[in-house]
Every structure is written in structure tokens, then in C-alpha cells.
Chains A and B, each alone.
Chain A
Amino acid sequence: MQWGHYIWPAVIAGFEPILLAFGGSTMSVPDGQTCNLEHPDSIRAFQFIQDMMWVDHTAITPQVEQENAGKYRFALGELAMLGGAHWMTDIINDQNPDLNYDVAALPAEQAGNASVVHVHGWAFYSGSQNKDLAWHFVQWVSTEGAGPEMGLIPAYRDLALSDVFLERPGEPEHLQEAFLEPADWPLTMGPTAFSDKYAQILGPDGYGLAIEAIMLNEMPAAEALAGVCEVVDAIMNE
């Protein structure tokens, strides 16, 4: 085992639960309309992430990620913990069926436990020529097709909590505690794409450069995030 943890530095779902658990967030909760990156708890969370990489040397740095992605390192047994959604289990099972692993929810920080719920929306056009077939497909991917075929969690709670999903061959033991119960936590957020400005905010015209500076250890989190909300809020208010 070479590395401790991988947190998807480039993906909002990678760091947002950590920010939420610390009491911060990238954008205001729950409306997601104003920047919250300069909140002291957001800064503290980002500093924690930076320290995991560059002070404690437990988390994978961008340089290490460049050599081989964290998700592959986990499947290879080079990484102890990998943050991720349920669909990662199918990928890992496929890459290394013999890997003995389990899933767990993220630990709590001062604000409590937090997680991110990815929501997948399915739709078909009212003018579709095959509405019945389309509805049948949507039903299927939301229920028994969700887990084995899509790597997702069934949309219907009773089905997600049933043995059809939880006891499916290849699923880790603690699916319920890791992926289903966190959906009820007050701090759990989702979906991540909270606005049509999302791509711009996360990119170089938003807070992307500040996140880069933190992940590459170019400056402390407080310095990197100073003034970033003015830029983000300007985008949101345009």
C-alpha cells in the first residue's frame, strides 16, 4: 500500500463533502447561488485537503495522479481509500475482481457528516414515437437495471433497501451504511450541477485557478481563495 487517500481534486463532488463536513461549502447551501469559498470553514477544509497532500503526504497529489489515476491505483491495491460514488464499485470489480474491499461513509467533522448524492435524471420527449417503450426503459434503469447495468442506486427507496440491490453479487458489504443512509443526512447535498453557470464557475474564469493553486501547493488555501468570491458572484449575478 503506497498511498492513503484520493479525493478527486478536480471534481467538485470530491471536495464538497469535506467542505460541508467542516461547515463550509463552495456555494451557499441549499440554494447554491452565492459563493461561500471565503468562509473560514471552507478555507479550513481546503487547507486540510492541501495538508493531506503536501504535509501529511497521505493523499495523492496531482503529480501522482498524472502518473496513474487514483481510481486505478485503488483497484491495483496501491491506495487505501478512494472517494467515489457507487458506480466505482463496478469499475473496481471489473478491474480487479479479487480485490478485498468494503465501502464506508465519510467521517464527520465539526459540522457533522456530509456526502454528495448524484442524481441521474431520465426523460423522454412527449412527441416520442415509442413512449411506452421509453417509459419501460426509464422504469428499468430506475429499478432493477440501475445497479447491475448502470452502476447506480435504484431510484425507488424500497428497492434500493431490498436484497435485490444490497445483496447483489459483487456489491460491497456495507452498501446501506455507505451509500443509502447518507442520503438522509442534513448536510448531504446534491445534485452537484446546481446552475447553468457551473462549468464556468469551476473553470479558469471562476474558482478553478484557486483550486489549482491549492492542489499544487503553490500557496495556502486562505491566500488562494482570497477574492475568489467576488469573481464567482459576478458570474452568478450576470
Chain B
Amino acid sequence: MSQRTGRLRLPTGNQRREWFAAYAFLTPQLLGLVVFIGIPLAASIYYTFTKWDLIAPEPTWIGLRNWEYLLFEDPRVGKVLLNTVKFILTGTTSFLVLSLLVALLLSRKAKGNFVFRALFVLPWVLSSVALGTTWKWLLNTRSGPLTQAVELFGIKSPDWLLDPQWAMIAIAMATTWQALGYGMTVYLAGLQGISDELYDAAKVDGANGWHRFRYVTFPMLSPTTFFLTVTSLIAAFQLYDAVVTMTSGGVAVAPGGPKDSTRTIVLYLYNQMFQYSERMSGLGYAATIAWMLAILIFIVTIIQWRLGRLWVFYGGDDGR
């Protein structure tokens, strides 16, 4: 509505052509979003109010029963969430710290650095099954190279994947090893964005190596750290394949052992979707678990954004 004339201003021929072109370019993407994201999301919300084993001709409407059972009655939810949190704490922390360390080491101009960079990135392209199978062997109690490496120091190595105290840590080691190349690459990009002038100024002010890291590198890398923290936490919440490949077979037919110590929320979702025949099992309850996970990830991400305001430095005039 035009303020001046109070009449609708109809688009001119040129504008119409521009709009048509814009929508023509947008349509395939919008269609993709609607078909592959919008509709499945809406359908999954609908299924949280239903019970369906996929064998019955159609789902049965049960209202909020799935949510009631998930939040107040299912005794396993707390345990699988705790297992997931254990992985987040160990896996995400080790990923961030080691990625930064490796990036700092390999950011220096030294001969052959590119070889090490390539070596660190290689595991990133491995499939999860290859990762799990390799690490299962690396950690085997009898002759696993990592087990033997620990015992070289006269320390009795843990029964990595057969000890509930260590199994999740072992999985975190494997996933960290795989993701390290990605984290290192992102950190290296961040390091390259830090101006040499800042280091020179710090040197002039008498800053030693630690001071330069603490007051220049770390704050300047904080957006990178923030990005990696958010994305790695989201990935950690979704842990599934490494658990399945590293804890299946051997002593328990069901992955998630020993003693249920590595069953994550996504693995439990799989149990309820495809393996269990309890009164709530099926697509409806699995969709409810998935939505709980999505809501959890959303809440954690919001908290991270809020906390990020306190420590993430974007380099603007006001430091934000």
C-alpha cells in the first residue's frame, strides 16, 4: 500500500518478469525443502500422537500417550540420556581440545606439514563401519596396539570395550580420531584469519608465547571454537553408528553394552522402532524420542548461543 497515494501500486512489467525469474529459480529449492524436510517434519510430529507398527494398515491416534510414557514412565530414558551426555562430555571435549592442539602444531611453517595435515584428514573420509571395526581391533584386550601401548608404561590396560567404565571413553577416542581432521581443518582456517599484526603488537608489549595464545589466538579463534562446539554437540547427540560397530557381537548380541553403558538415545530409538514389541513400540514412539532429541538439541544450542555472547569475540568495534 502506497503511503502517499493510498492506492495499490501494481508491479510493472519488468518487476513481474523479475519476480517470475526469482520464483522460478527458487522453486526447485523450495520444493525440495517442502517435500524432503517440511512434509517429513510435519508427518513426524503427527506420528508422535499415534501408535503404528508399520504392519497395521494405518496409525492409531493415541493423543499424548507417547509423550507421557517417554517423559514419566519409560525407565530407560534417563539411562540412555546419561550415556549420551557421557559421550558428549568426553567426545566433544577431546575433539575440541585435540583439534586445536593439532591445528596449532600444524599451522607453523615447517617442512612436510602438509603430509601430517593429510594424514590427520584421512580418517575423516572413512566410513563409520571401517572406523568401528578398526578401533575394535586396536582396543582388543589381548593384542590391541593401544592396549599394548598403555602396558608399555607398566599400567594395566583397561578392558576397553568390555568394561562399562571405559567403553564410552573408547568410543569417544575413536570418534575423536575420526573427526580430528575436520576440526583441525576448520581451526587452521581460523588461524589463517588472524592478522600477524596482532602478534607483532603483542610481542612489542612483551607477551610471551602463552600470553600470545591466551590473549590473541584463543579470543580470535572463539567464533571457530563456537561453531565447532555447536556442530560437534549436535553430532554427539546423534551418536549411533560407532556404538553399533564397536559394541556388537562378542559378548552381547545387542549393541550398547557392556552393561548397557553405551546405549545412546538414538540407539534406543532404533530399539523401539525396529526391535521391540512393547505396548508403546513402533513408529509413533520412535518419532516421539526423535522429537525429544530435537528439542534437547535446540535447547542446548540456544543455551550455547546465549553463553556464546559472553566469550565469543567477532572482532567488531564493540568486540561482538
Contact = CB atoms under 8 A, between A and B. Distances in A.
A216 interface: yes
Contact of A62 (B76, B251, B256): B251
> How big is chain A's contact interface, by range?
20 to 34
Interface of B: 76, 136-137, 140-144, 159, 161-162, 249-254, 256-260, 263, 271, 275-279
Main secondary structure of the interface of B (DSSP, over half): loop
B258 A67 contact: no
Contacts of B258: 212, 216
**A-B complex: 8 closest residue pairs judged by Cβ atoms:** A203-B254, A199-B275, A62-B251, A204-B260, A63-B141, A196-B277, A66-B140, A10-B253
Given A67-B143, A204-B263, A212 B252 contact: yes
A72 to B, nearest CB: 12
Given A196-B277, A203-B271, A209-B260, A65 B253 contact: no
Contacts of B140: 63, 66-67
Contact of B257 (A11, A67, A197, A204): A204
Contacts of B277: 196-197, 200
A167 interface: no
13 contacts: A9-B250, A63-B140, A65-B250, A199-B254, A200-B276, A202-B253, A203-B254, A204-B257, A208-B253, A209-B257, A211-B251, A212-B252, A216-B258
B259 A66 contact: no
A223 interface: no
Given A10-B252, A66-B250, A199 B276 contact: yes
Interface string A206-217: 001101100110
Contact of B254 (A69, A197, A202, A235): A202
B259 A67 contact: no
A200 B251 contact: no
Contacts of B137: 66-67
A199 B279 CA distance: 15
A63 B159 CA distance: 8
- Of A63, A69, A215, which is in contact with the most chain B CB atoms at under 10 Å from its CB? A63
B273 to A, nearest CB: 11
- Of A199, A203, A211, which is in contact with the most chain B CB atoms at under 10 Å from its CB? A203
B162 A203 contact: no
A200 B260 CA distance: 13
A12 B254 CA distance: 12
A67 B252 contact: no
